[in-house]
Amino acid sequence: MQLIIAGTGPQPDVAINGADITVAGVTLDTAARQTDQQEVIDVRLVDGVAQEGGSGYQLASIRIPPRRYVETEPDPAAGADATGTREPVALDPHHVVVTLWPLV
């Protein structure tokens, strides 16, 4: 994962394990959250508790890239009605961007 530190001062606790990231106790499985469009997940401090989303102080933003696909050509031996396949490629965690904001 790409880690960006925004601002100065102490940062929230962060742990990265493959495609999983934990920020201030909130764990996200980025591979499970990947869709066909970019996803941005905010971790915020709401009433002193870290949570996903909400209207509190921004602790982190996690940007998950859109799902990529590998397409195969149809098998010519299958006839004129044959179609190719479109298989999703597993998320490469190196393409996930995590921006950490300083604690208040």
To 5 degrees, how large is the angle CA 75–CA 78–CA 82?
A: 75
In the sheet where 57-64 sits, what is the strand order? 2-5, 97-100, 57-64, 39-46, 49-52
Which residue did the predictor score with more confidence, 16 or 78? 16
pLDDT at 78 over 70: no
Give the total residue count for the chain.
104
Residue ranges with strand state E in the chain: 2-5, 14-17, 20-23, 26-29, 39-46, 49-52, 57-64, 69-71, 86-88, 97-100
**DSSP 8-state symbol, 28:** E
Overall average pLDDT of the 59-85 stretch: 84
Tens-digit pLDDT profile for residues 6-65: 988 899 999 999 999 999 999 999 999 999 999 999 999 999 999 999 899 999 999 999
The residue extents of the domains of the chain are 6-68+85-100
The pLDDT-based confidence of 68 (bands split at 50, 70, 90) is very high
Q: What's the whole-model pTM score?
A: 0.85
